[in-house]
Homo-oligomer: A and B are copies of this chain.
């Protein structure tokens, strides 16, 4: 994404946090005061959005002195980034920068935990995100998933088709739906179908789905379906994704099965942040 596109978002977010200026800094800090600031991790985690924040701060005229790259493993007390610039501008940006870094690092950390658990049982399985990101944060949240070692899955509804429960309720059966998507959507797209039982899974496989999402299957139910597909000669060339209430506790039981991907909404919709703070470490009067 162009730095200018990221910058535009940051400027809007800063305007949200200070629609008519920073009343405290305006009063206390003269415009010619410059400062050096560090961002310090207050808890361990995987760093995300640091590359993007670095590009934006540079575009805003701040000088990055040092910065850890995306994907760094943070320990409590680690310095994430050090930068210099006009002190009042640093304080105006503080909240937005910290919120983005700590939220995205929270997404990356939650992803990494799931990935680590899953890969232990099955190095080839993918841990995928969903579209359940915080509105406005889609791009950064998906990037954080990548940083954490996850698979982004669909970036948007404009991406490859995924036939769900609600589509089928409106009137086509699985076979018709797959045929229609195949015929009307671009040949560059795969066709994915969400199913809720093994019978639907078989029908989707026979009808030529490229990917089948087993929604809310227990590990045992998943195993049974996979076996069934294999027996019918339908497993080959088909991708299997499991989804629904999979967390750090139970992900291993899915990972050991022959599934291609395990998706989780929680890593993006309810991550706990990796807490960070911004500290002014020195300040001086700039010569103009």
Interface, chain A (partner B; CB < 8 A) = 1-5, 7-9, 11-29, 31, 33, 35, 51, 60-61, 87, 89, 91-96, 98-100, 102-103, 106, 126, 128, 131-139, 142-143, 146, 151-164, 166-167, 169-172, 177, 180-181, 184-190, 192, 211, 237, 239, 241, 260-261, 269-273, 278-280, 283
Contacts and interface: CB of A to CB of B under 8 A. Distances in A.
A17 B157 contact: yes
A94 B131 CA distance: 11
Contact of A158 (B4, B22, B189, B271): B22
Contacts of A87: 170
B161 A24 contact: yes
A119 to B, nearest CB: 14
A28 B180 contact: yes
As for how many copies of this chain the complex holds, the number is 6
A42 to B, nearest CB: 10
B181 A28 contact: yes
Contacts of A157: 17-18, 21-25, 92, 95
Contact of A60 (B4, B13, B184, B239): B4
B166 A279 contact: yes
Contacts of A167: 24-25, 28-29, 91
A135 B279 contact: no
Which 8 pairs show the lowest CB-CB distances between chains A and B? Answer: A136-B136, A19-B19, A18-B157, A13-B135, A20-B158, A24-B161, A22-B157, A270-B272
A225 B153 CA distance: 33
Given A20-B155, A128-B186, A171-B283, 7 more contacts: A1-B21, A17-B131, A24-B164, A24-B185, A29-B171, A35-B170, A269-B273
A288 to B, nearest CB: 10
